[in-house]
Chains A and B, each alone.
Chain A
Amino acid sequence: MKTIKRFEHINAKTIDEAASILKAGNASILAGGTDILGAMRFEILPDYPEILVNLKSIPDMEYIREEGGMLKIGALTRLEDIAKSNVVQAKYTALAEAAHRTASPHIREMGTISGNICQFTRCWYFRLPDNRFDCVRKGGKKCYAMTGENRYHSIFGAVKGCVAVNPSDTAPALVALNAKIKTNKRTIDAEQFWDMVKPGSTILEADEIVTEIQVPTPAKGLKSSFIKFAIRKSIDFPIVNCAAMIGKGEARICLNAVHNKPYRCINAEDVIRGKSINESSADAAGAAAIEKAKTLPGDRNKWKIQLARTMVKRAILGCA
């Protein structure tokens, strides 16, 4: 295997210290490391950080607690801890299930919630070693997937010319649960957190660090669920996933891996809101969710539209 380029490893003691290092440039965050180290080893990007700022050396970044009517999760909380948390399983079911369905046990033991929502896209053109394709997401002029092999790509069109999808499992759960992402600079609605920002996936500034995830405690009668379709259940990234929170006249449904960022299914929400959940109403909502879906040139991703419809339907049924 190719050797990883040398970098300086700094154990930050505080968020402020980490942010100041990031602000100086040529540095990147190291949390669980499951994404950044692979990206560096395979040299998928044109430029590489010379410094990795380790956040794990900052105290009190790993926690799960209910406080002030919300669930607070420290940014460095490992996915496996979230998946196994009794309180998350009981009240924030979609998030527990999403964390549980992420990757494999080994990766969940290392990967953090903040890393999972900040990871790079898995587009294979973007990810190919040695920066093989200088695609639009890296500052190039072309999206190779648009006219190339795009069976796993966006069914809701391109964003800034890129048809890659967001691969996070926890992201749609956070959107469905109406969560907020707290950083060292601000608190952002989860729904506004992601965008196509070269080469990353979030609106975070260079020296901005996620510190906490805040999920409002669902009102009594609200239920949430998460469902994922992947080729191999044991480890794979989603082909399509979906989270829903429904009840008491409220409905929030979010697909992911279908668009550049988590895709809130407003149409489906309108269809199911206030209705009793059954096969028929869920199916109608699933159909509504894909009303704006379209295939890419070559129609290779057509199957994902069928999957998206089914995932929405099943996520809704999971809230019954």
Chain B
Amino acid sequence: MSNDYKPWTWKVPEDFKPLDYNASRQDGHDKVSGQAVFTRDVTLPGMLYAKILKSPYASARIIKMDTTKAEALTGVRDIIRFDDPDIRLENTTGGYCSSEYNILTLPPTADFYQHPMGVVVVADSEEICDLALSLIDIEWEEMPFILDMEESLKPDSPKIMPDVLRLNAAVKEPNTLLTKKTDIGEVDKGFAEADRVIEYTFTRGPNTVAGIEGMACVAHWRGDFLDIWQHHASHVEQILSNPSLVNVGLSFVSLGYGTIDADVKSPPKERKDPLLPLCEPNRINVTVPYQGAWYGGISWLGYSTAFIRMATIIAKRAQNRPVKLLFDESHFYLTGDDAAIYKCRIGAKKDGTITALDWHVVGPVGELHIDKTHESTCIHNMRNTQEWALINHGPHVCFRHGTQCCVPHNMMFDRVAAEFGLDPTVVALKNDGCQGHDWAWITKYQEENGFPKRHSLKEVIDLGKEAIQWDKKWHAPGAKRLSNGRMHGLGFVYINEWSWMPGRQFACLILRDGKLTIIGMRADFGVDTESAFRYCVAAESGIRYDDIVLQQQRSDANTYRFWVPGGAMGITRNTPQLIVAARQLKQKMLEYSVRPPAPPMFPRAKPGQAAFPGKKTNELDVKDGFIFEKANPTNRKSVKDVAGSFWGDDPSIIHPVVPEVSGLTLDGKPHPRMYIMSRQAHFMEVEVDTETGEVIISNLVCVNDVGHLFNRRGAEAQQYGGAIMGLGRSATEEKIYCPKTGVGLNFDNINYHIGTMNDYPEIKCILNESHLGYSSYGACGIGEDSGAALSGITAGAIYNATGKWVEEFPSTPERVLKALGKI
């Protein structure tokens, strides 16, 4: 058992405290000074610009296209039409939208308003591109569009998006992508055991990403070598060089999950014409500049896999001139995968015990909507049925993801609490557990596998309740009117964390001249995971934090890379390898200290001596950049002096490959399962103006159990950002379409009401360390849950304030007024 890989049992280095607020940030100067270069900012000598047509229609087909006038425009260098032979193969594959279908690369059909499609113009400037696009004469055939998924599911609906590759072999004509049913336990029996069965339906309108940086990719061929400046850091080399992995679609590859075959129960038909490799993998140099507002990560940028291939093809035609391919609409063409109708039945006992649930969802997402509930409760009996059909909303993708799980999860506790007059925190605790096991069972599992005996949900609820004074303020629904005339309400949501597993990454440490470099390509999108990386390596290696830098933006070797998405997965996936590497490096430094350096290059030079002659490695330690004798700390030498003399023959490059988690047991027997034991709870206090429907959020407390805390500043930033994103999605954000034309009407940052910090009160951020994650020192993530869990928090708070349910999200004033019967 000694070889078992259990990073949560690792001993935290002595004096390891979370990173201080005023610690240096590697990206600090660039961003504060305005010098940070984002992908869209990249400019190269002789660079050409390329722009794609965006569809003015929700559903239409190009019948005729005349590019004559655009071609004649001075400065136009190339025009690539949908029917260009160079793009033909790309057009049948496209880029990731979901596990069920892809958005095509440059099709002749428009499937949604602002669909990038039809034609690309390449010119000397952006301005010429815009002008050239306006000079292209296009004859359109408008086609039927559908905005309502229930309409699209009907067998007699018109077929929409006919050219889109359906990836699931079990699709139903004309538009159904997926129907599925999942039962866990004995659902009917569970309902029979209930004291009451509660039924309700709620809907979530279409929302979109917070990304403000429009998609961009710069490609430059130098003979057979390709330089790419990309907008995100998926496995671009695979996408460009290994078409066998992208035989049917780019979906899984674009996520870096592996091959297209993963998890596809009904393999789609094989392509007759597989994609071609565009470049050999070892000739691709990738740079990932700073990334803007990346909330939700690679999933919403999945289309950019197709986008990058297109940029590469365009650049090839540009004959050695770099090309920057741009899409002007930053994100509004995408729609959140929580946009759905949720029809719910809950069986519950009077004490709040949930005996069964049955959720029928008409909406997107291949994942189960009961996933989070199954992972984080002891409820035995669950059913999830789902129907998903194409609609002309723009692709439904996962960003700020998990909302489709978190909202029904928390609505359930709110509804059960309301039904029996209980406090929702009590109902949540009553049903807490993991995968049907109660907390007593989990406690036994914790004991046996080296975890502390902690009850995360109880801890975060206690912390949050105290901070918001829940017990003092809690009241029956609709029972408290404030002196300003508004109704007072409290809301609560919780969820478990997404990122709780350690990862296997491929970063590398190089020690030179006493300075440590971490090499691993990833995208810096502002969440400051980088400081946590530097800090854990500092703590474990003994090198000073400020002597460590992270080289992450460029990869010529295409070898060293970190797990890409955000802070949460950044910590859990990447720190185990960094810590193992830092420990190996420290051991190596100690070994340098007790042996003489290699013979000098020049024979007449005096041979070197060991830095600590006669000492053994276990008698030494490294701290703050110095190697010292434990028994006599004044006997010390700098890392620079010791390790530097070995540089010529041993540059101390460390890149260990870490194993998978192993050695889990229960009752002394091998037990392969892992359980998400950490919880995050959020509390809200609102005032509802019953004359206007306005919901004023007066107090917000976010409590995140991060397992182990590395970087307080970064973690709190994630809490803050996540909360604002979640609140916006709960209360105000909604894409609005013209019912007559299908055109998006508020696809801009004025009319799309994304939450901003100025709209909400100061948030009290509380971090809990239960050490119940499976990653380093028991760390788990923080990134996803706030944005997802808070996406439904207003419903419970409004109910507590008014005694009325707002059953449509976002819970806009209009909907509150409707619920109150005022309109």
A interface, CB within 8 angstroms of B: 1-3, 6, 104, 122, 124-125, 128, 130, 132-133, 144, 147-149, 151, 229, 231-237, 239, 302-303, 305-307, 310, 313
Contact = CB atoms under 8 A, between A and B. Distances in A.
Contacts of B738: 125, 144, 148-149
Contacts of B758: 104, 232-235
A122 B745 CA distance: 11
Contact of A124 (B127, B691, B746, B813): B746
Given A124-B751, A144-B738, A2 B328 contact: yes
Interface of B: 56, 125-127, 130, 214, 328, 691-694, 732, 736-741, 743, 745-746, 750-751, 753, 755-756, 758-759, 812-814, 817-818, 822-823
A231 B823 CA distance: 18
16 contacts: A122-B751, A124-B736, A128-B743, A128-B745, A132-B743, A133-B743, A148-B741, A231-B753, A232-B758, A233-B758, A234-B758, A235-B750, A303-B693, A303-B823, A305-B823, A306-B817
Contacts of A148: 738-741
Nearest to B126: A3
Contacts of A233: 758-759
A234 B214 contact: no
Given A2-B328, A147-B740, A303-B814, A232 B745 contact: no
A231 B692 CA distance: 11
A302 B823 contact: yes
A151 B817 CA distance: 14
Contacts of B694: 229
Contact of A306 (B127, B750, B812, B823): B823
A44 to B, nearest CB: 11
A1 B328 contact: yes
Interface SS, B side: loop
A305 B741 CA distance: 26
A302 B738 CA distance: 18
A147 B694 CA distance: 27
Contacts, number: 83
Contacts of A303: 693, 813-814, 817-818, 823
B822 A306 contact: yes
A158 B189 CA distance: 59
A3 B404 CA distance: 37
A85 B738 CA distance: 42
Contacts of A306: 691-693, 817, 822-823
A170 to B, nearest CB: 18
Contacts of B822: 306
A132 B57 CA distance: 9
Contacts of A149: 736-739, 745
B148 to A, nearest CB: 14
Contact of A234 (B130, B693, B756, B818): B756
Nearest to A305: B823
A50 to B, nearest CB: 15
Given A6-B127, A232-B759, A313-B691, 14 more contacts: A1-B214, A2-B130, A122-B750, A128-B745, A148-B741, A231-B732, A231-B812, A232-B755, A234-B758, A234-B759, A303-B693, A303-B814, A306-B817, A310-B692
Nearest to A299: B823
Q: Which 7 A-B pairs have the closest CB atoms?
A: A234-B758, A124-B745, A303-B814, A310-B691, A3-B127, A231-B753, A148-B738
A164 B169 CA distance: 48
B117 to A, nearest CB: 15
Contacts of A310: 691-692
A129 B796 CA distance: 38
Nearest to A304: B814
Contacts of B741: 144, 148
